[in-house]
Amino acid sequence: MRVLAAMSGGVDSAVAAARAVEAGHDVTGVHLALSRAPGTLRTGSRGCCTIEDSRDAWRAADLLGIPYYVWDFSERFQADVVEDFVAEYAAGRTPNPCLRCNEKIKFAALLEKALALGFDAVCTGHYAKVVEDADGGRELHRAADWAKDQSYVLGVLTAEQLEHVLLPLADTPSKAEVRAEAARRGLTVANKPDSHDICFIPDGDTRGWLAERIELSEGEIKDVEGRVVGSHPGAQTFTVGQRKGLRIGTPAPDGKPRFVLEIRPRTNEVVVGPGELLAVDELRGIRPSWAGAPVPEAAALLRDGRSAGEASSSFPVLAQVRAHGDPVPARARLELVPGPGGEPVAELVVRLDEPLRGVAPGQSVVLYQGSRVLGQATVDRAHSLARPDVGGTDAAR
């Protein structure tokens, strides 16, 4: 099988490429240049896809004896990930750029180019597993090492994409084993630190970075009764669940900390309140997608649904809203609602058995059954069924 190995310059992708070679595949390595500042260097464990990373990937490919290329995807990354990130924050939502990068870059733009060039699959160092179902279709599952499992950020993959994905680290029991294997193979990245935080904000100052790209203006911080309790430099730099950096001069009547409950970009307001009001038990998600065949209940609606107001039967799931968050038992269903042009579009409704705290619009809710990833949707609204709604965003109002 002709395999294009995406090599980030880290230990995981290097070992994944090595295993693909060892399995007998015809492997070519490629590093994606995503930065528009090509002189950028990595700072410890912050940042990725830098000049330093491309050189580390080249050294790994050279050791493995495989062809190696650097492909410039910076314009696509800027448009589909960076600009999307800015637009989402400007609308009062909190996006996941890693998930968007996997959706738009690594398993869309890269895979499309790979298939056009005659490759059969794209290989990455993600910790997740692709298995065949009883009908020969592909399913996405959690990795053996749940501590490193990355199936959440791959929840955007479609059935068609899963047909061309190779994940050699799927059954590896720990990251320590990957590093030990890299050392045995003589890979110089064996002890390279993992990258973390947002790759295009290597200093970790998301608020400062956004302030340079979003027009901010001072506005009011209000409590849930509508009383002004402070001011802020720009509502778009806050996120639901935030506690630090509020700079509220007026203490709460009960003396307890206050958290961001809602962001209102249109009125430039931030609503704060006690932590217990962050608990939500229903999520509504837009743009749902399925990692493999949809569950029968959803498939029936997608096949037979004709008009807004129709809904599928509910089905049991585990719902996860953060990359390393704990999954929560829930029941989910699809509903058809009026789309922008009046045509019915599907929304995902997730009723949680246990409340979750601080779920922000813009996050992704990924659904599981056991270890299998069913699919995902972007959270549009998160609220509690037991009280008046104080969460969410007014971006769509």
Residues belonging to the active site: 101, 199
Residues 6 or more apart whose CB falls under 8 angstroms from that of 376 comprise 99, 155, 156, 285, 288, 289, 291, 364, 365, 366, 367
Residue 366 has pLDDT above 90, yes or no: yes
Q: Where are the domains of the chain?
A: 2-185, 215-273, 278-383
- Phi and psi torsions of 90, nearest 5°: -60, -30
Average pLDDT over residues 54-62: 95
Amino acid symbol at 133: D
Q: Does residue 300 contact residue 310 with C-beta atoms inside 8 Å?
A: no
**pLDDT for the residue numbered 260:** 94
| Tens-place pLDDT, residues 250-300 | 778 888 899 999 999 889 999 999 999 999 999 999 999 999 999 999 999
Average pLDDT over residues 64-91: 93
What CATH class is the domain 278-383? mainly beta
Residue 396 has pLDDT above 50, yes or no: no
**pLDDT-wise least confident of 80-89, 322-331, 374-383, 387-396:** 387-396
**pLDDT-wise least confident of 123-132, 243-252, 329-338:** 243-252
Residue 39 has pLDDT above 60, yes or no: no
Q: Which CATH number fits domain 2-185: 3.90.45.10, 3.40.50.620, 3.40.718.10, 3.40.50.970?
A: 3.40.50.620
CATH superfamily of 215-273: Adenine nucleotide alpha hydrolases-like domains (2.30.30.280)
Q: How much of the chain exceeds pLDDT 70, in percent?
A: 93
Average pLDDT over residues 330-343: 93
Q: Which long-range contacts (CB under 8 A, 24 or more apart) does 321-325 make?
A: 321/283, 321/356, 321/359, 321/363, 321/364, 321/365, 321/366, 321/379, 322/152, 322/363, 323/96, 323/98, 323/150, 323/152, 323/153, 324/152
Secondary structure of residue 255 in the 3-state scheme: coil
Q: Report the predicted TM-score, pTM, of the whole model to 2 decimal places.
A: 0.90
Q: Does residue 292 contact residue 257 with C-beta atoms inside 8 Å?
A: no
**pLDDT for the residue numbered 248:** 85
Task: List b or e across 273-300, with b for residues whose CB sees 16 or more CB atoms inside 10 angstroms.
Answer: bbeebbbbbebbbbebbbbbebbebbee
Do the bridges between strand 344-357 and strand 328-338 make them parallel or antiparallel, or are there none, so unpaired? antiparallel
**Structure-model confidence comparison of residues 391 and 127, the more confident one:** 127
The secondary structure of residue 136, as a DSSP letter, is S
Residue 35 has pLDDT above 50, yes or no: yes
Amino acid symbol at 350: V
Average pLDDT over residues 110-135: 95
**pLDDT for the residue numbered 135:** 85
**pLDDT for the residue numbered 44:** 47
Average pLDDT over residues 174-185: 95
Residue 118 has pLDDT above 50, yes or no: yes
The secondary structure of residue 393, as a DSSP letter, is B
